[in-house]
């Protein structure tokens, strides 16, 4: 059954799939996560303080859960799709249509496929990003990669430009071997590449300083001290990913169904400042920008940042 499921995941356009049990995540992850919250590193992401038990216990999200099917969707653009020196910079994942419904749709197809193979009675819960679930920890346990000093789940063959999703199920499946940690050792490229000092050599990560947090999650004004460090990044940041030597081997995405809009980076800050709500909805339809909203997008395009 595992082989059939993984084959079907590839047919659905995922780039890797692994299976783990629905057992709770190791206590050290819970401790690490709680310590991270206590240190204030989660900034204003209050939702991370809620549902802590669910986050580490897939069985709390689906009664009777036995297994978790973890998938990775490669979003690395091909070399010819990458534009430099654009007026604004958008993190690569943000240049695509919203990946949440995209992965969920494929999970619904996967669930149908499994039901057809096993008979009715099996139940499922599809999780992509927004569910309270420790995605990187489960993906590591399902054999998809290890967590690097940059906090990304890294697969030595793919790098880390991939998105994660989990299909929790009541079906009992043979779990894969967890991915063994590859030590980062003396390498600290991600730490040095981070424009704001959000990452530290000791492995800590402070979301309050992270450009991805400041441009996507921060609800209020962005502290002016970050202006020149954020520069023309208006949605997310990729520096700690691109600096990682594990990125060198990764191939470009195979799945071209996830709509890609690198041309958004040719919008100028002035065009965004003058954009109406109707124009915003039309340009960014079905993308992560809709959740950000036009007001915060304009905030991210403050002229003070572009003149530095
Ligand atoms: C909150 C969040 C953010 C926050 C905080 C980021 C962070 N590092 O925590 C912000 C807004 C800053 C953010 C940014 C980004 N995010 Co984000 N984010 C999430 C979310 C919703 C929760 C992550 C979380 O629980 N953070 C809390 C910290 C403590 O968890 P963690 O760093 O993942 O560490 C866990 C383990 O790795 C482990 N661990 C880590 N270090 C150590 C050390 C020790 C000693 C131990 C024991 C354990 C341990 O313990 C933790 C608990 O299990 C997940 C989706 C999800 N539901 O999981 C996506 C997710 C992690 N994000 C994702 C992405 C793509 C990004 C960005 C690359 C987007 C961008 N280009 O701007 C950046 C990357 C920034 C970075 N270097 O992490 C992907 C990552 C895919 C991958 N290959 O790893 C996810 C999985 C979403 C998805 N479904 O694909 N994100
Ligand atoms: S996403 Fe950017 S700001 Fe955030 S930790 Fe990585 S390099 Fe630093
Ligand atoms: S850049 Fe170096 S230290 Fe950072 S995650 Fe990659 S291997 Fe680890």
Residue with CA closest to ligand 1 atom 76: 151
Task: Judge if 215 and 121 occupy the same domain.
Answer: no
| Residue 35 is assigned to a structural domain of this protein | yes
| Residue 258 is assigned to a structural domain of this protein | no
Quote the pLDDT of residue 286.
95
Q: Candidates 37, 153, 212, 235: which one to mutate for ligand 1, based on the most atoms within 8 Å of Cβ?
A: 212
| Residue 128 is assigned to a structural domain of this protein | yes
Task: Judge if 132 and 234 occupy the same domain.
Answer: no
Q: Candidates 204, 245, 247, 249: which one to mutate for ligand 3, based on the most atoms within 8 Å of Cβ?
A: 245
| Residue 273 is assigned to a structural domain of this protein | yes
Cα dist. 284→29, 115, 233, 277, 278 in Å? 36, 36, 17, 10, 10
**Confidence check: pLDDT of 304 > 70:** no
Total count of residues recorded for the chain? 308
| Residue 251 is assigned to a structural domain of this protein | no
Domain count, the chain: 2
The per-residue pLDDT for range 2-58, each reduced to its tens digit, is 999 999 999 999 999 999 999 999 999 999 999 999 999 999 999 999 988 889 999
Which structural domain, as residue segments, surrounds residue 19?
Answer: 2-85+93-169
Task: Judge if 75 and 204 occupy the same domain.
Answer: no
Task: Judge if 128 and 273 occupy the same domain.
Answer: no
Task: Judge if 14 and 144 occupy the same domain.
Answer: yes
Task: Judge if 146 and 237 occupy the same domain.
Answer: no
Listed residue (165, 109, 116, 159) closest to 136, CA to CA: 165
Task: Judge if 212 and 103 occupy the same domain.
Answer: no
Find the 2 Cα to ligand 2 centroid distance in Å. 36
Residue with CA closest to ligand 3 atom 6: 244
User: Are residues 132 and 55 in contact, defined by beta-carbon separation less than 8 angstroms?
Assistant: yes
Instruction: Please state the atom number of ligand 2 nearest to the C-alpha of residue 193.
Output: 7
Instruction: Please state the atom number of ligand 3 nearest to the C-alpha of residue 244.
Output: 1
Last residue of a domain, one of 141, 169, 197: 169
**Confidence check: pLDDT of 308 > 60:** no
Task: Judge if 199 and 228 occupy the same domain.
Answer: yes
| Residue 181 is assigned to a structural domain of this protein | no
pLDDT interval class at 252 (50, 70, 90):
very high
The per-residue pLDDT for range 42-67, each reduced to its tens digit, is 999 999 999 888 899 999 999 999 99
Last residue of a domain, one of 113, 140, 169: 169
CA 308 centroid distance within chain: 29
Residue with CA closest to ligand 2 atom 8: 194
Average model confidence (pLDDT) across the chain: 95
Listed residue (241, 21, 4) closest to 138, CA to CA: 21
Last residue of a domain, one of 116, 140, 169: 169
Task: Judge if 119 and 64 occupy the same domain.
Answer: yes
Helix axis angle for 99-118 and 2-11, nearest 10°, is: 140
| Residue 256 is assigned to a structural domain of this protein | no
């Amino acid at each position: 059954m595992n082989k059939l499921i993984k084959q079907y995941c590839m047919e659905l356009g995922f780039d890797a799939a692994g299976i783990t049990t629905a057992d709770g995540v190791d206590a050290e992850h819970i401790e690490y996560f709680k310590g991270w919250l206590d240190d204030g590193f989660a900034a204003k992401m209050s939702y991370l303080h809620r549902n802590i038990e669910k986050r580490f216990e897939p069985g709390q999200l689906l009664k009777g859960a036995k297994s978790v099917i973890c998938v990775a969707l490669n979003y690395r653009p091909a070399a010819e799709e990458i534009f430099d020196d654009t007026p604004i910079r958008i993190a690569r994942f943000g240049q695509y249509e919203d990946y949440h419904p995209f992965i969920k749709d494929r999970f619904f197809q996967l669930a149908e496929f499994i039901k057809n193979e096993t008979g009715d009675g099996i139940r499922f819960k599809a999780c992509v990003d927004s569910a309270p679930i420790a995605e990187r920890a489960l993906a590591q346990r399902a054999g998809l990669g290890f967590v690097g000093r940059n906090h990304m789940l890294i697969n030595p063959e793919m790098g880390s430009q991939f998105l994660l999703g989990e299909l929790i199920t009541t079906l009992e499946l043979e779990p894969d071997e967890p991915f063994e940690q590859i030590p980062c050792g003396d390498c600290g490229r991600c730490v040095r590449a981070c424009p704001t000092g959000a990452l530290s050599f000791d492995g800590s990560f402070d979301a309050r300083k992270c450009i991805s947090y400041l441009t996507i999650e921060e609800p209020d004004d962005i502290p002016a001290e970050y202006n020149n460090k954020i520069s023309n990044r208006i949605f997310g940041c990729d520096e700690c990913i691109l600096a990682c030597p594990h990125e060198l081997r990764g191939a470009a995405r195979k799945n071209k169904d996830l709509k890609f809009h690198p041309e958004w980076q040719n919008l100028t800050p002035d065009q965004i400042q003058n954009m109406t709500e109707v124009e915003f909805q039309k340009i960014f339809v079905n993308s992560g920008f809709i959740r950000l909203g036009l007001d915060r997008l304009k905030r991210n395009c403050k002229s003070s940042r572009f003149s530095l």
